[in-house]
């Protein structure tokens, strides 16, 4: 089997797995308990927060930001957007569905255009912020898109947003562990992350927020965990996994970036050299080093996915989270692609363990199914 769907979910890193198993072997741990096992749990959670802050370019025990553990990237995104219902919320037209879905439920959401390359239109953002009648504003733009891998100009977005006194949230789910996400340099006010996208187990994510943001409204209520912002006994083994995944990602980031960039070039150059019926989305703009969204001139993504699957190759059509069903991507629509064109899109996303051999095999299989 050749698994090339790492933006959907990726392997648990061996160092993470070892540590998670060690924590499970420690026996029952509830960080809210006052006895020594509880204290161990509390320390483990704190360690994990510190590793996450460090990956985000923040100092250990940084007092400016706090880490709120959640069950997923979706929950972190929901927590932030649902807390700002009385603000004007500016989102990009290519946000993940866990943010975009709020356009159905919240009136004061303004959608900002992207250009043909899938990059946020800064002029559109600026003029909409300028014309806003709201005194309270928040901008939410993803760091990198899950379908295309296209990286957004977040530093510039933060500058413009802050000029108009708007806060900035960024969905960093796909960027973590693939590119440098230094929220301290960029001046992002809050960020969402998800463990299973970069080497931690499923079922854990986090929202990282400036301490000065004190209007978060918990969606899960009950006990006082996570300073009452997310009730329920913490998923200690997975949270530890998220911390170790962050630590390892920090150590390996440069190597991962170069390794995956090289493999992606091998993949794209190999496919383009042998196929004149394909196009790579966003080829001319900064992208994640592992993501290629490919359009075909006439074959639907469904036909291609089924043919590839029968040959033992797993890739995806469109969004990582859309349960394998083909659907029309709002991302490609926002970039101006026609419905016919976007129905041909399939995504190849590499992992840190993908090999040259797998890439070459993929190219061979792809050419065979297109003969």
Q: How far is the CB of 76 from ligand PLP (least distance, A)?
A: 8
Asked if 149 and 287 count as a contact pair (C-beta separation under 8 A), the reply is yes
Q: How far is the CB of 151 from ligand PLP (least distance, A)?
A: 12
Per-residue contact string for residues 184-223; x = within reach of ligand PLP by CB under 6 A: ----------x----------x------------------
Q: Does 70 bind ligand PLP (CB under 6 A)?
A: no
Q: Which of 142, 168, 191, 359 binds ligand PLP (CB under 6 A)?
A: 142
In the block, tokens 């190849």 appear at 348
Q: How far is the CB of 316 from ligand PLP (least distance, A)?
A: 10
Tokens of 116: 């043909």
Q: Which is nearer to ligand PLP, 42 or 98 (CB)?
A: 98
CA distance to 29, 50, 51, 246, 309, per residue, from 199 (Å): 23, 17, 14, 8, 24
Asked if 160 and 125 count as a contact pair (C-beta separation under 8 A), the reply is yes
Q: Which is nearer to ligand PLP, 278 or 288 (CB)?
A: 288
Residues with Cβ within 8 Å of 119's Cβ and at least 6 positions away in sequence, in order, are: 150, 152, 153, 285
Q: How far is the CB of 78 from ligand PLP (least distance, A)?
A: 9
Q: Which of 10, 48, 50, 72 binds ligand PLP (CB under 6 A)?
A: 72
Per-residue contact string for residues 297-336; x = within reach of ligand PLP by CB under 6 A: -----------------------xx---------------
Residue range at the interface with ligand PLP (CB under 6 A); choices 102-110, 168-176, 206-214, 286-294? 168-176
Alpha-carbon span 187 to 242, nearest angstrom: 23
Alpha-carbon span 103 to 82, nearest angstrom: 11
Tokens of 1: 């089997």
Q: How far is the CB of 25 from ligand PLP (least distance, A)?
A: 26
Q: Which of 55, 56, 139, 173 binds ligand PLP (CB under 6 A)?
A: 173
Q: Which of 5, 88, 124, 171 binds ligand PLP (CB under 6 A)?
A: 171
Q: Which is nearer to ligand PLP, 31 or 205 (CB)?
A: 205
Q: How far is the CB of 257 from ligand PLP (least distance, A)?
A: 18
> Angle CA(352)–CA(318)–CA(311) in degrees, nearest 5?
65
Q: How far is the CB of 8 from ligand PLP (least distance, A)?
A: 7
Q: How far is CA 80 from the centre of its chain?
A: 15
Is 158 annotated as catalytic?
no
Q: Does 174 bind ligand PLP (CB under 6 A)?
A: yes
Q: Which of 96, 256, 287, 347 binds ligand PLP (CB under 6 A)?
A: 96
Strands, DSSP E only, in 5-151? 65-70, 88-92, 109-112, 137-140
The DSSP output letter for 242 is H
Alpha-carbon span 281 to 278, nearest angstrom: 10
Alpha-carbon span 103 to 100, nearest angstrom: 6
Q: Does 73 bind ligand PLP (CB under 6 A)?
A: yes
Residue range at the interface with ligand PLP (CB under 6 A); choices 40-48, 167-175, 276-284, 329-337? 167-175
318 conformational bin, left if phi > 0, alpha if psi -120 to 50, beta if neither: left
Q: Does 291 bind ligand PLP (CB under 6 A)?
A: no
Which residue of the set 158, 172, 190, 321 is catalytic? 321
Residue of 119, 122, 115 whose CA lies nearest to 144: 119
Residue range at the interface with ligand PLP (CB under 6 A); choices 66-74, 217-225, 271-279, 299-307? 66-74
Helix (H, G, I), strand (E, B) or coil at 166: strand
Asked if 319 and 147 count as a contact pair (C-beta separation under 8 A), the reply is yes
Q: Residue 70 pairs with which residues in a beta bridge?
A: 205
Q: What is the C-alpha radius of gyration for the chain, rounded to an integer number of angstroms? A: 21
The DSSP output letter for 103 is G
Binding site for ligand PLP (CB under 6 A): 72-74, 77, 96, 98, 142, 146, 171, 173-174, 194, 205, 320-321
Residues annotated catalytic, as ranges: 321
């Amino acid at each position: 089997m050749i698994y090339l769907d790492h933006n959907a979910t990726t392997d648990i890193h061996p160092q993470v797995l070892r540590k998670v198993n060690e924590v499970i072997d420690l026996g029952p741990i509830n960080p809210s308990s006052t006895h020594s096992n509880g204290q161990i749990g509390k320390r483990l959670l704190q360690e994990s927060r510190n590793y996450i802050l460090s990956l985000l370019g923040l100092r250990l025990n940084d007092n400016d930001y706090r880490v709120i553990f959640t069950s997923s990237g979706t929950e972190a995104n929901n927590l932030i957007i649902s807390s700002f219902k009385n603000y004007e919320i500016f989102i990009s037209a290519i946000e993940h569905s866990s943010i975009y879905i709020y356009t159905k439920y919240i009136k004061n959401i303004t959608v900002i255009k992207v250009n043909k390359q899938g990059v946020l239109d800064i002029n559109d953002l600026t003029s909409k912020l300028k014309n806003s009648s709201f005194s309270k504003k928040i901008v939410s733009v993803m760091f990198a898109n899950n379908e295309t891998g296209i990286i957004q100009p977040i530093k510039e977005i933060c500058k413009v947003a802050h000029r108009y006194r708007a806060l900035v949230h960024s969905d960093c789910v796909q960027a973590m562990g693939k590119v440098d996400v230094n929220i301290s340099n960029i001046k992002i006010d809050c960020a969402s992350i998800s463990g299973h996208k970069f080497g931690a187990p499923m079922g854990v994510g986090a929202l990282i927020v400036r301490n000065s943001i004190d209007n978060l409204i918990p969606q899960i209520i009950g006990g006082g965990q996570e300073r009452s912002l997310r009730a329920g006994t913490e998923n200690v083994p997975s949270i530890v996994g998220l911390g170790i995944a962050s630590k390892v990602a920090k150590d390996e980031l440069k190597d991962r970036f170069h390794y995956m960039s090289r493999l992606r070039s091998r993949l794209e150059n190999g496919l383009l050299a042998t196929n004149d019926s394909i196009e790579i989305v966003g080829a001319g703009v900064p992208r994640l080093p592992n993501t290629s969204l490919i359009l075909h001139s006439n074959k639907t993504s469904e036909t291609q996915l089924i043919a590839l699957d029968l040959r033992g190759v797993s890739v995806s059509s469109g969004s990582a989270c859309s349960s394998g069903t083909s659907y029309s991507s709002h991302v490609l629509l926002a970039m101006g692609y026609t419905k016919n064109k976007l129905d041909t899109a399939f995504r190849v996303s590499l992992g840190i363990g993908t090999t040259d051999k797998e890439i070459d095999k993929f190219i061979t299989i792809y050419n065979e199914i297109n003969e």
